[in-house]
Structure 1
Amino acid sequence: MTLINPADSVERQNEKLLRITRSLMRRVEQQQDPSGLAYAQFERAALLEDQVRSRTRDLERALDLLHDSNLQLEQASAETEAARANLADAIEAVHEGFALFDSQDRLVLTNSRFCQDMRDIADQLTPGLRFDDYVDLVSRSAYLALPQGETGLAWALKRKARHRENDAMFNVRLTQDLWLQVSERRTASNGTVVLQTDVTDLIRLERKERARLQNKQARLIAATLEHLNQGVCIFDDAARLIGWNARVAELLRLPLTRVQRGASFGGLIAQLPEDFGLSHGMSRKRLLDWADRPARRGALRFEATQGAALTLDAFAQGLPDGGFVISFTDVTAERNAARALREMNERLEARVAERTTELASALAEAERANASKSRFVAAASHDLLQPLSAAKLFVGTFSGETLSPTGRETLGKISSALGSLEHIIEALLDMSKLDSGRAAFDIRPIDLGQIFTALDTQLEPLAAQKGLGLRVRPTSARVETDPSYLRRILQNLLGNAVRYTRHGRVLMGARRQGDSVRIEVWDTGPGIAHEHRDMIFREFSRVDAPASASEGLGLGLAIVDRACAGLGLPLDLRSEPGRGTVFSVTVPLAAQAPRNPASRGSRLSPPGAPVPGRVVFLVENDADLRRALTLSLEGLGADVIDVANARDALDLLDELEITPDALMFDEDLGPGMTGTELLREITERYGPIPARIISAHRAAGLGKRCKSLGVPLLSKPLDGRDLEHFLSELA
């Protein structure tokens, strides 16, 4: 049993000990204990007092520690509150809207700027609010400016999808043209920090800068348009005018006051002068329909005319943004030049017809004096073929791609007229040679299939133009005759069949008959009456044929008759009026021999394209023809050195000290050397060089001289394909 209860507090135990000590001291002072009991009690009391003091000191130390702990706790609490206040002050001091969500996507704290522009939901953004609920509140806010065509629900779904990203940044538009840049980032504890930055000023500044740049670009475009010689107008996707230059009003004959920004395309079309016409199948209605259908808007090209005083080349093209642009180019001068060229061509045709009439008269006169006629034609051939050859080459130098459609048509008519003239002159020369007995025949084996193929290629376009079916059956037969005259015979027969057959078809084929081949030309034309069969083989004779002079003078069958007679080839005619005609020529077969596709009688394609930079040495005494040949050869990529006579040619070669890549000499060079003599001289000096002799003469002796020199002879009028083939051999 103890006097002190351990369960008591230290203060209670001290209080009990003090009370016990005071009681014992009183008792000692009141009683006398002889046995020393009082002293013992005194000692016990002193001991108890020491214990009380010790406990008191422990209690005081404990109280001091408790007091220090309370002070530290109070200090830590004060520091925590101060830190929290500093954090709140710091967040509040941030110029951006700030919100913090914990790892459970619940709102922890925000500052006053967070969603401050959405006053209808700002008071609902309280701690504990879920992130999805926050997004739903924003999507329903009256201050949120949704993108065009987007609902609040769709916007909320997209916003929540962005929340699943670790880092996200995007712009949100509010009403009154306010803009927020929302930045969202994950924290280390998987929370979310959302910052809202007001970027309205930046957006407006960017707009202002963009508008300034657009205005600058617009001014540059306007200045550029004003410097164009073309009239240009630009329309937006609603066919309203947004850009133009003063030239367009000038060309379209419109007052500048009517050409204003925002003017409709239809309104401008309605203001055009009444005499303003559109060509190439274009009309005002079709043009308006084109402008009203952006999806089907393709490129358009047409011409606008105002009488004969103005012709505009118009080109309309759609733009990527749905608008379109139209440009107008004044081509009045070009069209007038083409018109003048056409008139000149008509005059030329008239002159050709006049000359043809004169020639026909001369031939009629020559029928009464055949010998005089032959001498006249032979003498005139060179003078006629020289300018004709130059004219063909000059025409060939024009590029069809650089001319307008009217110019190309005119150029085609000129080429056709020159070709007709060439055909007439060659026919006359053939007739002259055949009548005079001076025709030299080169009888040798030839591949009949090559002649068939060439004629099919030549006459197919004419047959197709007339809607006829032309069929040339292939053949592998080899015959023995003169290739040039056989080709002329078949060309005349097949050409006449195509020319005088109005509908149906034309057929040419070959049948073997023993040692010969029977070549037949069938047509479904008007046929030839029995009483006219002798007349059709006369010169200048036609039976019910309203053909123009460009289709010949009626010499084709006369040449066929005389050439077959000279070659000893039987010519037969079968015809039924109203059902058609069959001409046939029987040619002897050649001895069997290995076929040589590159035989000298064939006209194959050039072995390769001309190689640019080849030097061609040209000697031609006719200035016009020399110039035409130079332009044609240069147009094919060659470098041309040209002189007028043989003496100048030799002197120039000695002076230049170069060896040309090719030679082209006219045979008739005037006094001094001929072309073949000049070629022989240059060959002795410089060795063999690829060469061509050109001449308007058809004498057999010239062909033999060229053959002995191993050089081909090109007969005038020259063809551009002959020049291209010549240059291709130099590759």
Structure 2
Amino acid sequence: MTDPPVRTGNEADRKRIAALEAQVAKLSRINAALIGRVERATDLHGTAFSLFETAIALEGRVRDRTAELEGAMDTLATTNAALAMARDEADKARRRLADAIDSIDEGFAIFDSDDRLVLANQTYVSLWPEAADIIRPGAHFSEIISTLARQRVPLAALAAPDAWVSDRLARHRIADGGQAIALSDGRWVQVNERRTSDGGIVAIYTDITDVKAAEARDRARVLAERAAVLQATLDAMPHGVALFDAGKKLTAWNGPLLTMLKLADRGPTAADRVASHSAFTAWSRLVLPGVADVGALDWLAPGSAESVHVAALADGRSLEVHRQPMPGGGMVMRLDDVTQARAAAAAIAQRKSDLEALVAERTAALEQARNQAITANSSKTRFLAAASHDLLQPLNAARLFVSALAGRRMADGNRLLVSQASSALDSIESLLEALLEISRLDAGAIQPEIRPVALAGLFNALTGEFALAAQRKGLTLHVTPTDAWTATDPRLLRRILQNFLSNAVRYTRAGSVTMTARHVADGVEIAVTDTGPGIAHADQALIFEEFRRLTTRSEAEEKGIERGMGLGLAIVQRAARMLDLKVDLTSAPDAGATFAVTVPATIPQAREPDTDNMRGSAGVGRATVLVIDNEPAILAGMSAMLAGWGCHVLTAPDGAAALAAARRRPIDLLLADYHLADGVTGDAVVERVRDACARRIPAAIITADRTPELKDSLTAEGLAILTKPVKPAQLRALMGRLLA
């Protein structure tokens, strides 16, 4: 072990001893000066007494100074003794420190702020026998590692000693962690360096050769295990696999590969025949003729794309070769006998072709059936339109005649008969409308038109429609105001709610009917609740079927409720299905019922005037009305009803008669049937009359055709529309609006 420089006590002791020595020297000089003065002094008067007195005084002062000097000397002696003890303790501590450092198994070294060696133990020196001559106090760190680099002690210094010195100096200056250094003789040294408070560096050097050897053994074991797993995986693969390293040497293979290469029965050294890529290719030419000749086994350079090649062998087999370059160089090759797979693929392709032909044949048949269905559906739609017209024409005429009779004075008995006839017509009209509506829904003749709808306007219209019916039965109709908006078809939604309210009013004997709207997670739930007899759970699914009525005629009369036709909820179900809406029913016997439909919510839109609810009757009783219809009964009925309202009525069965009537008298209003004779339409006749009169006469088209396309077409022409059978109140309101 090298010894550090010896230091004499601490700084305070040295300063104190120096002060005492200076004071003793000063007192000695004063004493010498006083004695000399006594010896030289003379009495001014030459008397011996003066000299005696002076000697006495000087003696006292010398004695005092001598006492002070003796005290200072005692203090100095004490201090010197303490200093000697401190020096002894320091020596002992230094020896103990040196012994402790020497007893450490790791190498230990301290460098000062100038990077010069202050202290190092023997273990540190033994780690670097090549630099033992220069490892002494005062040696610079760079000098030590430069010597090690020149001696090629570190493994990294064998190739680039200067680079290793530069890197080691950089890490040494940082001195904030550990570094493992591999030595050229196979040893490993772990270096841990830390800065001291005065800017120096403390370093501990540990020989970790055994640890590294253990790690190497562990890595070798892991690699061996991985190699075993890899080999087991390769052997489990059904296809042959060959792995070549960057030097084109065969490093891994499996049993199926040896079988394909006909080497499986040639012993453990069979793979030596294909130990390199060139040998592999040469042997494959012998046992797999045709594969190597087409380049399927060629070497792939790093960065090349994966290659897949199918080669036909001379014996009729097909061999698929996959080649893929390895990231670090080398190549992996996979050989797969795809003879059966290709045969199966060919069979599948043939089967696919057969199926495609069959599908094409079936598709053609289905297309033909579809076209027939479309034709049938179109025919059904045309039939429905014709049936609607033919069925509603006589009904419309009967309605007009009954309305005309109701406006005349007659005996009470006759008025009762007219009322009963009107009620019977109402029932027939409701039944026909329901049947036709179901038919149109089933035939797809009604297509929804989704648009924003304000529920407030719809609720107001339904309130006006059912308030009188509820009042007549003594029921209270509650319609909760709402500002909710939905996105749906307003006609179909209104039809759903009309059926809810109609059933609620019909089957409720006493109490109330309530309609509400509230926001829920799925949108807006519109509910109609009544205090009627309720519906048993077992019957709740049945009431949505056509013509399903839960009460007999006698039960209805006994309970004092009306008996419906059993079509309203069937219409509700079809309309809701068309709009993709959810309909719910909550009910129990004697507990009333709640029918609800949930519609999608949307943001409020700018409101438009509700022209459908604008009503007026100004000028109806003074108007000249030209009625155009090819049915004499309709003309007679309209004439009777309009004349009862005070109108001057002109009638025409076709366009020519309409033009002739318009020339005889100025016309205030045109009412034309849409379907006239010989394919002529009412809107065309209205246009001819307007042209002949050279003015735009107010006009309305009366039709049994309720298709959206016709409505849009007539609306675009600026014509009002009224559907058959005509309700007198609706006709009078429409005439009032047109004549206003």
Q: What TM-score do the two structures reach when normalised by structure 2?
A: 0.45
Q: What TM-score do the two structures reach when normalised by structure 1?
A: 0.46
Bigger Rg, structure 1 or 2: 2
